[in-house]
């Protein structure tokens, strides 16, 4: 019998449709693994066994009734615990919301429910999505399935670990400064940070509203496109969502890269760890051999990204976390962890009168320049390829006590959030058994093209077939 | 030393939109059970996002136009960050740098003189919830009602150009009148849909500098109290200044029982609201066409209406000012003129000002609460013209119309006040002459003042149903015979 937990979403969907596999069987297989490995990896804060079984039963009924279903029907997925789920505890991985049960679903959750996916559980992450390693969770560290002494990357740490360890077939994430792409990179996964406004933020615990991008992690590029098909699109509940038409992101995914101009930004490779650089440049060469044109480009304001990001982001954080004032959510503000407190204090400071102009306003001006870097570059090339992380997955505690070092882990990812452009992180290779990712960045709303490029590489590299030994 | 008051007004107007500012909850919360008009957005639940109410924005912009403001084509919302238990999100969505409207003015009459006060800005924001302090199971608790949370408000800020409580009151009343003309708010001070916060300080007379301190007055629910609170503050602050001290920077409330202001909150330093652009709402870029359309669709405003009344109806400025105080009253006037075949605007104006407006003022009720239609007044006037009732009875009937809502015919029958016919009146006159032959003789001898007595006798016999003019004519005629 086939191992159901080794299938891609595309494969599983086909088998479900062909009635070769039942959704309940698929769900049981993932639930078993989730329960078994969660003890070891701490990827889920809540496993929603009953709900998952009920959802799967419903899908089996619909299939038995020969109903036309979404390709995601019956697919077991994890939801980052900052996605509000009606009736299911949603903690944002913070003690402040330890017992919080929402009264409504996030729009992304509603859309996934409409596609009849199965919810395995709510995944762990850095509290309030603050962090790059998962170590800021108030519910304990999530371990990297590829090396349990190392971090899985954050903030979507649980989503990445659960997926890499086959505890679900996909998992949702939020990417404010790299929180989907970094864990994808650390766990050999595909992670999409969509264009800002492509997926609704409604019902997702806000971190930094002007930067929050709602995306997901999958094993393959095709699977990522399938999920985006369900979640993308205008939402009247989120004024910042775009009315740009949603297209079938899987269509023409095998188009290839012939004639595609790929920019290699020097700022992202100068000083980059030689081994990581080689892995990524090998991947780029692969794409070149498939017909892409490689062009050297420059995004001159790159170096200001982290500084800009760590002014705008905490400013918005300080305001967004104000509502957890101890009156309505049980826990008082002392229940915030030290990273949240640090950001509240930083943001309160940078917005204060007398400092606003020097920090927030200046940062907003630099943000515009950073966006211009991208728009100008995209006049010359179709996309940009860059590393995701300056390092390999690091050891627990290695950066946890040095916030600045931790913030610098975001050096290659924050600029896309500041610019609002989409970025697809895909596996690029391995170094000493540890995954290395790279990101393909494109102009606004070019997710489809990013998928085509990612898919071309994936067909060659087949890295999604790698499995951690746990 | 003589002091001059320096007063600026911050006035909040609650818009009467169907739904709230940033969600689809009903904004008509008055009297509703606590927390029944709420949703994730106005409760500030995690993940909830605002979606701006376009009608509310247009209302705020119309007000800006009516206040002669510059309507900004580029505008945005900002977050005003502060903590208060009734503030669901820990910040209020407001407008800081680029409000919908800037730099206008309000012109109004005070004691016969026209005053013009500059308006600094008119911006939109959302209302907060409301705290209630109660006792539950013998414990003193504070309860929060979020029904009002997210109801759209426009805040109109004046320049500190006001120097008397009369002008402050006039300014606020004119603003109320304009907002009501626009139909954007009830501006009911008692219900809190209009809230006036005067900032009062004093400076040596003749000085042009702004005083170093400012006292903000809050929780005032009538124009009269606005005036009284300002007067009280002027006296209080004068006394402090005369002692060589400076009044404290503070917020003071108005105690309407003790007739005095009291300290609510000291403002040792300016509150730092840490404003920044609201990231959940994209900035606005309005087109010139959009603003032009708003302007084209503006209703007639009080000053325009008054000017038109003076022109079209040939009435005095004073009468027209009274008739246009309230948009409903003005419409009542115009509709009555239309319904009454002879027109006669002056006569109708007298009726409305002398009878209707007086009663409305006495009973403190708005015209809209009455079941009175212009056609009823027109009918009443016609009946008077036809001699069916006397003018005196007509006034009584009108009063009954106002209170009962019944029409003239019904009331005339009900109260039996039909004027008696000329034939019948002739009989009465003859009878009165017969019964008072002595008096008639005196009259004939030149003692004209007894004429009134005879008329009085006629009215007594007819229970006042005789038309005074007809009666007098008949009397003269019959005596001469």
* Interface membership of A325 toward B (CB under 8 Å): yes
Taking contacts as CB-CB distances below 8 angstroms, the residues of chain B near A209 are: 279-280
- Look-up of token digits 């800006």: B64
Q: Which residues of A161-199 are buried (b: 16+ CB within 10 A; e: fewer)?
A: bbbbbbbbbbbbbbbbbbbbbbbbbbbbbbbbbbbbbbb
Percent of chain A with pLDDT over 90: 94
* Interface membership of A106 toward B (CB under 8 Å): yes
Interface probe with B: pick from A92, A127, A206, A331, most Cβ of B within 10 Å: A206
Nearest to A103 among B40, B88, B281 (CB): B40
Taking contacts as CB-CB distances below 8 angstroms, the residues of chain A near B44 are: 323
Q: What average pLDDT does this structure show over A427-453?
A: 98
Q: Hey, are the CB atoms on B83 and A325 less than 8 Å from each other?
A: yes
* Interface membership of A207 toward B (CB under 8 Å): no
Q: Hey, are the CB atoms on B274 and A316 less than 8 Å from each other?
A: no
Residues A73, A23: contact at Cβ < 8 Å? yes
- Tokens for A131, please give them: 């962090």
Whether A281 shows a pLDDT value over 90: the answer reads yes
**Band of pLDDT at residue B183, cut at 50, 70 and 90:** very high
Taking contacts as CB-CB distances below 8 angstroms, the residues of chain A near B52 are: 239
CB < 8 Å & 24+ apart, contacts of A54-62: A55/A23, A55/A27, A55/A116, A55/A117, A55/A118, A55/A119, A56/A22, A56/A23, A56/A24, A56/A26, A56/A27, A56/A28, A56/A118, A57/A23, A57/A24, A58/A116, A59/A16, A59/A23, A59/A116, A59/A118, A60/A22, A60/A23, A60/A24, A62/A116
Q: Is the peptide bond before A155 cis (omega within 30 degrees of 0)?
A: yes
Q: Hey, are the CB atoms on B276 and A315 less than 8 Å from each other?
A: yes
- Given this model, what pLDDT does residue A366 score? 98
Taking contacts as CB-CB distances below 8 angstroms, the residues of chain B near A208 are: 279
**Band of pLDDT at residue B442, cut at 50, 70 and 90:** confident
- Given this model, what pLDDT does residue B481 score? 64
* Interface membership of A1 toward B (CB under 8 Å): no
Distances (CA, A) of B284 to A200, A372, B73, B99, B204: 20, 21, 8, 10, 44
CA of B210 to nearest chain A CA: how many angstroms apart?
22
Question: 3-class secondary structure for A95-135?
Answer: HHHCCCCCCCCCHHHHHHHHCCCEEEEEECCCHHHCCCCCC
CA atoms within 13 A on the CB side of B286: 22
Q: pLDDT tens digits, residue range A12-53?
A: 999 999 999 999 999 999 999 999 999 999 999 999 999 999
Taking contacts as CB-CB distances below 8 angstroms, the residues of chain B near A236 are: 51
- Given this model, what pLDDT does residue B69 score? 94
Greater pLDDT, B472 or A137: A137
Q: Hey, are the CB atoms on B81 and A319 less than 8 Å from each other?
A: yes
- Given this model, what pLDDT does residue B376 score? 81
**Band of pLDDT at residue A85, cut at 50, 70 and 90:** very high
H-helix or E-strand spanning residue B237: helix B223-242
**Band of pLDDT at residue B200, cut at 50, 70 and 90:** very high
Q: What average pLDDT does this structure show over B30-45?
A: 95
CA of B172 to nearest chain A CA: how many angstroms apart?
32
Query: Which of A86, A127, A75, A76 has its CA nearest to residue A109?
Result: A86
Query: Which of B199, B150, B200, B111 has its CA nearest to residue B28?
Result: B150
Q: pLDDT tens digits, residue range B301-332?
A: 999 999 999 999 888 888 899 899 889 989 98
Interstrand relation of A383-387 and A261-265 (parallel, antiparallel or unpaired): parallel
Hey, is B324 helix, strand or coil?
Answer: coil
Integer Cα distance of A389 and A408 in angstroms: 9
Look up the CATH architecture of domain B422-480.
Orthogonal Bundle (1.10)
Nearest to A239 among B49, B274, B275 (CB): B49
Distances (CA, A) of A293 to A264, A287, A383: 10, 8, 11
Hey, is B84 helix, strand or coil?
Answer: coil
| Domains along chain A with CATH numbers | 4-465 (3.90.1300.10)
Residue of A nearest to B86 (CA): A327
> Which residues does residue A431 pair with via DSSP β-bridges, in sequence order?
A434
CA of B29 to nearest chain A CA: how many angstroms apart?
22
Q: Which residues of B249-266 are buried (b: 16+ CB within 10 A; e: fewer)?
A: bbbbbbeeeeebbeeeee
- Tokens for B434, please give them: 């017969």
* Interface membership of A99 toward B (CB under 8 Å): no
Percent of chain A with pLDDT over 70: 100
Taking contacts as CB-CB distances below 8 angstroms, the residues of chain B near A351 are: 81, 274-276
Q: Hey, are the CB atoms on A240 and B85 less than 8 Å from each other?
A: no
CA of A203 to nearest chain B CA: how many angstroms apart?
4
Q: pLDDT tens digits, residue range B238-277?
A: 999 999 999 989 999 999 899 999 998 876 566 789 999 9
Q: Hey, are the CB atoms on A239 and B83 less than 8 Å from each other?
A: no
Residue A337: phi and psi, rounded to 5, are -75, 175
Residues B65, B72: contact at Cβ < 8 Å? no
Least confident of A167-176, B274-283, B305-314, B413-422: B413-422
- Tokens for B2, please give them: 């003589």
Catalogue the active-site residues of A. Answer: 80, 155, 179
* Interface membership of A459 toward B (CB under 8 Å): no
- Given this model, what pLDDT does residue A1 score? 60
Percent of chain B with pLDDT over 90: 57
Whether B419 shows a pLDDT value over 80: the answer reads no
Tell me the angle at which helices B302-313 and B165-182 cross, rounded to the nearest 10 degrees.
80
Residues A190, A156: contact at Cβ < 8 Å? no
User: CA angle, B201 as apex, B199 and B205 as ends, to 5°?
Assistant: 140
Q: What average pLDDT does this structure show over A406-433?
A: 95
Q: How many CB atoms within 10 Å of residue B473?
A: 14
* Interface membership of A243 toward B (CB under 8 Å): no
User: CA angle, B38 as apex, B34 and B42 as ends, to 5°?
Assistant: 120
Q: pLDDT tens digits, residue range B120-153?
A: 999 999 999 999 999 989 999 999 999 999 999 9
Nearest to A239 among B45, B90, B281 (CB): B281
Q: What average pLDDT does this structure show over B438-467?
A: 81
Most confident of A159-168, B357-366, B396-405: A159-168
Q: CB under 8 Å to A358, separation ≥6 — which residues?
A: none
Residues B152, B40: contact at Cβ < 8 Å? no
- Given this model, what pLDDT does residue B270 score? 62
pTM of the entire predicted model: 0.90
Nearest to B279 among A203, A210, A318 (CB): A210
Q: Hey, are the CB atoms on B46 and A100 less than 8 Å from each other?
A: yes
Q: Start-end ranges of CATH 1.10.10.410 in chain B? A: 422-480
Residues of B with CB under 8 A from a CB of A: 40, 44-52, 79, 81, 83, 85, 88-91, 144, 270, 272, 274-276, 279-282
Residue of B nearest to A205 (CA): B47
């Amino acid at each position: 019998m086939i191992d159901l937990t080794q299938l891609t979403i595309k494969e599983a969907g086909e088998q479900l449709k062909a009635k070769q596999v039942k959704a309940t069987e698929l769900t049981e297989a993932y639930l078993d693994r989730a329960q078994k490995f969660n003890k070891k990896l701490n990827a889920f804060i809540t496993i929603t066994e009953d709900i998952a079984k009920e959802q799967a039963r419903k899908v089996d009924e619909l299939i038995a009734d020969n109903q036309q279903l979404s390709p995601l029907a019956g697919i077991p997925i994890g939801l980052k615990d900052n996605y509000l789920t009606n009736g299911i505890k949603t903690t944002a991985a913070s003690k402040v919301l330890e017992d919080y049960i929402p009264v409504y679903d996030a729009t992304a959750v509603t859309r996934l429910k409409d596609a009849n996916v199965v919810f395995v559980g709510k995944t762990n992450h850095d509290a309030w999505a603050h962090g790059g390693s998962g170590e800021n969770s108030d519910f304990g560290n999530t371990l990297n399935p590829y090396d349990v002494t190392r971090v899985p990357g954050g903030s979507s740490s649980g989503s990445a670990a659960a997926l890499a360890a086959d505890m679900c077939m996909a998992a949702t994430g939020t990417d404010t400064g790299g929180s989907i792409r970094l864990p994808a990179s650390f766990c050999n996964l595909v992670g999409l940070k969509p264009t800002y406004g492509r997926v609704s933020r409604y019902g997702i615990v806000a971190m930094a509203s002007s930067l929050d991008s709602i995306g997901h992690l999958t094993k393959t590029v095709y699977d990522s496109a399938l999920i985006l098909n369900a979640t993308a699109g205008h939402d009247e509940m989120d004024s910042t969502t775009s009315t740009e038409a949603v297209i079938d992101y899987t269509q023409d995914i095998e188009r290839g890269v012939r004639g595609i101009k790929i920019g290699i930004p020097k700022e992202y490779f100068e000083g980059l760890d030689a081994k990581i650089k080689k892995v990524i440049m090998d991947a780029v060469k692969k794409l070149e051999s498939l017909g892409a044109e490689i062009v050297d480009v420059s995004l001159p304001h790159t170096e200001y990204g982290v500084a800009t990001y760590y002014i705008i982001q905490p400013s918005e954080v300080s305001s967004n976390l104000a509502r957890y004032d101890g009156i309505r959510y049980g826990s008082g503000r002392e229940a915030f962890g030290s990273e949240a407190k640090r950001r509240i204090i930083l943001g309160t400071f940078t917005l204060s009168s007398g400092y606003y102009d020097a920090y927030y306003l200046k940062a907003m001006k630099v943000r515009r320049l950073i966006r211009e870097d991208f728009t100008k570059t995209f006049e010359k090339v179709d996309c940009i390829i860059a590393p995701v992380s300056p390092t390999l997955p690091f050891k627990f505690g290695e950066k946890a006590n040095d916030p600045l070092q931790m913030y610098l882990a975001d050096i290659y990812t924050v600029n896309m959030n500041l610019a609002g452009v989409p970025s697809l992180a895909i596996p690029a290779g391995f170094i000493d058994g540890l995954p290395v990712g790279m990101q393909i960045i494109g102009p606004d709303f070019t997710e489809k093209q990013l998928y085509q490029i990612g898919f071309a590489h994936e067909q060659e590299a087949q890295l999604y077939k790698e499995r951690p030994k746990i | 030393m003589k002091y001059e008051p320096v007063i600026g007004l911050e006035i909040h107007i609650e818009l009467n939109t169907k739904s709230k500012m940033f969600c689809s909850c009903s904004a008509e919360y008055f009297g509703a059970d606590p927390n029944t008009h709420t949703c994730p957005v106005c409760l500030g639940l995690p993940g909830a996002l605002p979606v701006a109410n376009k009608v509310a924005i247009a209302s705020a912009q119309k007000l800006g136009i009516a206040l002669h403001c510059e309507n900004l084509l580029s505008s945005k919302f900002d977050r005003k960050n502060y903590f208060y238990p009734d503030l669901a999100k820990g910040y209020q969505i407001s407008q800081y740098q680029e409000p919908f409207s800037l730099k206008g003015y309000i012109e109004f009459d005070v004691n016969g003189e026209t005053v013009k006060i500059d308006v600094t800005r008119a911006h939109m924001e959302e209302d907060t919830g409301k705290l209630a302090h109660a006792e539950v199971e013998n414990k003193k608790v504070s309860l929060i009602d979020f029904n009002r949370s997210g109801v759209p408000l426009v805040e109109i800020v004046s320049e500190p150009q006001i120097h008397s409580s009369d002008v402050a009151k006039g300014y606020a009343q004119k603003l109320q009148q304009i907002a009501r003309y626009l139909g954007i708010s009830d501006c009911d001070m008692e219900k809190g849909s209009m809230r006036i916060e005067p900032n009062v300080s004093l400076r040596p007379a003749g000085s042009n500098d702004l005083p170093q301190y400012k006292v903000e007055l809050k929780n005032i629910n009538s124009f009269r109290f606005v005036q009284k609170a300002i007067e009280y503050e002027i006296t209080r602050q004068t006394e402090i200044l005369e002692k060589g001290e400076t009044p404290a920077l503070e917020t003071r409330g108005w105690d309407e029982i003790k007739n005095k202001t009291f300290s609510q909150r000291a403002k040792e330093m300016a509150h730092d609201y840490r404003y920044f652009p609201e990231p959940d709402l994209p900035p606005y870029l309005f087109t010139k066409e959009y603003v032009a359309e708003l302007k084209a669709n503006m209703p007639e405003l009080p000053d325009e209406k008054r000017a038109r009344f003076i022109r079209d109806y040939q009435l005095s400025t004073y009468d027209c000012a009274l008739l246009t105080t309230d948009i409903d009253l003005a419409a009542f006037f115009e509709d009555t003129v239309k319904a009454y075949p002879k027109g006669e605007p002056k006569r109708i104006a007298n009726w409305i000002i002398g009878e209707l407006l007086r009663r409305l003022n006495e009973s403190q009720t708005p015209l809209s609460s009455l079941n009175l239609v212009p056609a009823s007044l027109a009918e009443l006037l016609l009946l008077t013209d036809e001699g069916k009732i006397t003018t005196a009875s007509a006034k009584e009937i009108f009063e009954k119309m106002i209170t009962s809502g019944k029409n003239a015919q019904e009331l005339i029958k009900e109260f039996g006040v039909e004027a008696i016919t000329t034939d019948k009146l002739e009989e009465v006159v003859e009878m009165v002459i017969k019964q008072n032959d002595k008096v008639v003789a005196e009259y004939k001898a030149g003692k004209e003042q007894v004429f009134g007595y005879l008329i009085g006798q006629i009215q007594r016999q007819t229970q006042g149903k005789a038309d005074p003019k007809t009666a007098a004519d008949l009397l003269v005629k019959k005596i001469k015979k």
